[in-house]
Every structure is written in C-alpha cells, then in structure tokens.
C-alpha cells in the first residue's frame, strides 16, 4: 500500500469499517481496501479521474476521483448515496450507539431506531419488546447480563423519544460516533 491517498472510517450497525484507497497518478492504478482486505484492483487505467463503486458490508459506496489542479486530485467517499458527512449526520438521527465494558470486555451496541434491531459486536441480537407505562422496553441478554433499551418520550416535541441502555440496573452513557 504505497500509493494510499485517502483513508475513511465508516460506522455501520455491524461495526466501524476502515476504507483505504490507493491511486497511482502515473499508472492510474486504483485499489480499494475495506478493513485492510483488498476488495478491488484496477491496474493501468488511462483515465485518472472517475468513480469506483464497491460495497461496505452490503451498503453501496462510491469513491469519486476529481482533478483539482495540475496533478493534484481530490477524493470523496459516498455511502448509501450520500456524502460521508451527510451519511454520518443521518445515521446519528436513526441509530443510537453505546460502548459498554462488561467483565473487562468492550462491546459496541447499536439500536436501529427505524427497524428496532439491536446489534452487538456485528451481530443482530434476539430481543423481546414490551410496552410499559412510560414507553417501551427492549430486553436482551449479553454474557449473562440483563440488558434493556428504554424508549420514553422526552416531553418536548423537538427532542422526541429518548433511548437509554440499562445493563444490570445501571444506565450506560451513549457514545457519539
């Protein structure tokens, strides 16, 4: 990986993925790595600008290669049809993420608010939902520990529903990605 020109981190429900892009500006070579694994290679491309389409864990991604000035190039990553910045912004509205440590082991728990799927360390968990007096609770188990995601109204129209993760009767602070 001698011609790496761009590196991005993409947070999806199944984990945070590292995307690296090699671009040989004399040969036109283009190589894409996801999580340090080569997924696409094109050698000897005559056109030095353009697009490379690939997938990150089933999500469509595109690297746009544009000339700036002279032999300088600009690289932009699109994920799910949006610029990386817009994708991250949308994801922060549709997903909640927590990174608790249980018995010395770090975990990454993601709630997809649109489907109510709960992911832990890259796998969808078996959950049980129930309505309670002040909202809903989604129950699951993690390493023998009782876990619950509570959804309650904030009482404020602009804030909407507040989600909190509780493990063994202790609230876990949300993580910002």
68 token code pair? 């700036």
Residues 131 and 76 in one domain: no
Residues 130 and 76 in one domain: no
pLDDT confidence of 1, banded at 50, 70, 90? low
Which DSSP helix (H) or strand (E) runs through 91?
helix 84-94
Q: How far apart are CA 62 and CA 80, in angstroms?
A: 9
pLDDT in tens, 100-143: 999 999 999 999 999 999 999 999 999 999 999 989 999 999 98
**Residue 127 domain-assigned (yes or no):** yes
**Residue 30 domain-assigned (yes or no):** yes
Q: How far apart are CA 74 and CA 154, in angstroms?
A: 43
Q: Which CATH number characterizes residue 61's domain?
A: 2.40.128.180
Residues 120 and 167 in one domain: yes
Residues 128 and 152 in one domain: yes
**Residue 89 domain-assigned (yes or no):** no
**Residue 87 domain-assigned (yes or no):** no
Residues 75 and 13 in one domain: yes
Domain extent, residue 34, equals: 4-80
pLDDT in tens, 153-171: 988 888 789 999 999 999 9
**Residue 67 domain-assigned (yes or no):** yes
**Residue 71 domain-assigned (yes or no):** yes
pLDDT in tens, 29-88: 899 999 999 999 998 877 888 999 999 999 999 999 999 887 789 999 999 999 999 999
Which DSSP helix (H) or strand (E) runs through 97?
strand 95-98
């Amino acid at each position: 990986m001698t011609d790496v020109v761009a590196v991005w981190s993409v947070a999806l429900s199944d984990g945070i993925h590292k995307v690296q892009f090699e671009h040989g500006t004399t040969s036109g070579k283009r190589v894409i790595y996801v999580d340090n694994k080569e997924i696409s290679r094109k050698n000897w491309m005559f056109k030095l600008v353009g697009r490379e389409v690939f997938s990150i864990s089933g999500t469509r991604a595109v690297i746009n290669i544009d000339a700036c000035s002279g032999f300088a190039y600009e690289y932009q990553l699109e994920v799910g049809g949006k610029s990386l910045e817009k994708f991250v912004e949308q994801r922060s509205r549709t997903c909640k993420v927590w990174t608790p440590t249980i018995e010395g082991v770090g975990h990454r728990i993601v709630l997809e608010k649109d489907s109510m799927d709960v992911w832990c360390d890259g796998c969808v968990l078996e959950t049980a939902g129930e309505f309670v007096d002040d909202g809903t609770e989604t129950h699951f188990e993690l390493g023998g520990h009782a876990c619950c995601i509570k959804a309650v109204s904030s009482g404020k129209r602009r804030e909407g529903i507040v989600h909190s993760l509780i493990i063994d009767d202790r609230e876990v602070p949300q993580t910002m990605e």
